[in-house]
Amino acid sequence: MLRAYEYQLRPTQGQRRDLVALRRMARDLQNAAIQERRDAWQTTDYAHVSVVGRDGQRRAYYKHVGRGERVSFKMQSAQLPEMRAEDPDGLGRWSATTQQQILRRVNKAHDAFFRRVKEGDPKPGHPRFKPLARVGSVDMRHGDGAKWDSTPKDRLRLYVQGVGHIKVHAHRPIPEDAEIKQLSVKFEDDRFYVRVVVETALARDIPRPNKEAVGIDMGTNPAFLTTSDGWAAPAPKFLRNAEDETKELQRKVAASKRGSNNRKRRVKKLRAAQAKIARQRRDYHHKLALTLVREYDTIVREDLQVSNMSRTPAPKPDPENEGTYLPNGAAAKGGLNKSILDAGWASFFQILEAKAEEAGRLVLKVPPHHTSQMCEKCPNVDPASRSGRLFVCTRCGYSADADEQAARNILRLGMESLQEPAAA
């Protein structure tokens, strides 16, 4: 089983400058590789094609009609030795395998791009050049340009070629039986992290819980989730609580002159505020997921498509007045979308499933249709049964907390899905 451990680095001032130089090298190499591929793309035989979409709008895209030249990872990787020899204090300072990992990322992005072109996607989305702030991490190979626990007799350190031995804030240990597969240095504003990907055959030693199964119903206000046994985790609303501060910072950035030092300082403050919100949300998700894994053996959740749920409503053209549109509830939907994204359901689901697998627990997903409109006492399904936080069945009159009742329906559907194969 693959597991990832993340630790904050404690570099010296000199090492901070070196880590920024590593990030800059990754940006320059990645952009140069994209430029080379773009040049090859422009000389390849492609035809300009226009089509009419389902919405009646005409869109243009490029369709591959000839063979042409295509730059591969092997071709770009073969150029590295010569480039490193010509620039010993620049590219030559860093590990060659680290630079190969950067080129692999570019190759992966272009493979996806050519696949979309082949499928006739009107907007295939050519990989774009990255500014320094968009270079989030650099992958490294353990034992080749990077080494974990590089000074065993001293406190834990990470060795990175071109930077040196960096102190690590080791807040939890890595299992002794784990085999280190990959190291990644992450950049987050003024903070630096290391992600250690290890392979281990043993699940985490978490005591078996007393309760067997639970269903969870997700929400945004006032509860982040409600369990089938009546426990509710509050919605922290990190984005909402910091919204005034971030809006003020955004106004100051917008009022600053582009390229000025004042603007750079304000952008730095804004990024720090946004990074803090992300850290708070991630920390809350980890703690809540661990609580569920410690308490329950089987966790049943709805198979929610969060990206679809948080989409902007499509415009409604007025058939009687050309060029005008009918109300589509975009304002109300925008508020709901912000609450869903602030809660971070998709991120929480990933963390929950990872921790459950790690501890040997089971996570089941059930269809979300009508779980909050279905009466648990009778098979009646009626949207009118739910009014706010109260559920009152329009057929049998049964009443209960709407979220708890939905969580019990989710649990029942999950248990029924386990029994279906045995019955067959």
- The total of structural domains in the chain comes to 2
pLDDT of residue 63: 53
Alpha helices in 68-128 (DSSP H): 73-78, 80-86, 96-118
**Strands, E assignment, 210-352:** 211-218, 223-227, 232-234, 296-302, 316-317, 325-326
pLDDT of residue 43: 65
Instruction: Judge if 161 and 260 occupy the same domain.
Output: no
Instruction: Judge if 113 and 181 occupy the same domain.
Output: yes
Helix (H, G, I), strand (E, B), or coil: what is residue 105? helix
Smallest CA-to-CA distance from 218 within 156, 304, 117, 105 is with 304
Instruction: Judge if 258 and 370 occupy the same domain.
Output: yes
Answer whether residue 186 is part of any domain. Answer: yes
Answer whether residue 51 is part of any domain. Answer: no
Q: How many CB atoms lie within 10 A of CB 349?
A: 20
Instruction: Judge if 196 and 268 occupy the same domain.
Output: no
List pLDDT tens digits, range 12-57: 999 999 999 999 999 999 999 999 988 887 765 555 555 555 556 6
* Residues 88, 99: Cα–Cα separation, whole Å: 14
- List, in order, residues 6 or more apart from 259 with CB less than 8 Å away: none
Instruction: Judge if 176 and 302 occupy the same domain.
Output: no
Instruction: Judge if 367 and 346 occupy the same domain.
Output: yes
CA dihedral of residues 115, 121, 122, 124 (deg, nearest 10): -30
Q: Which domain holds residue 371?
A: 211-423
C-beta of residue 128 within 8 angstroms of C-beta of residue 29: no
- List, in order, residues 6 or more apart from 227 with CB less than 8 Å away: 214, 215, 216, 404, 407
Instruction: Judge if 127 and 224 occupy the same domain.
Output: no
Helix (H, G, I), strand (E, B), or coil: what is residue 122? coil
Tens of each residue's pLDDT in the chain, 424 residues: 788 899 999 999 999 999 999 999 999 999 999 999 888 877 655 555 555 555 566 555 555 544 446 788 999 999 999 999 999 888 999 999 999 999 999 999 999 988 888 888 888 888 999 999 899 999 999 999 999 998 877 789 999 999 999 999 999 888 888 899 999 999 988 899 999 999 887 566 666 666 789 999 999 988 999 999 999 999 999 999 999 999 999 999 999 999 999 999 999 999 999 999 999 999 999 999 999 999 999 999 999 999 889 988 888 888 888 889 998 888 888 889 999 999 999 999 999 999 998 888 999 999 999 899 999 988 789 999 988 889 999 989 999 999 999 999 999 999 998 876 544 4
Smallest CA-to-CA distance from 207 within 23, 38, 359 is with 359
Q: How many CB atoms lie within 10 A of CB 41?
A: 19
pLDDT of residue 68: 47
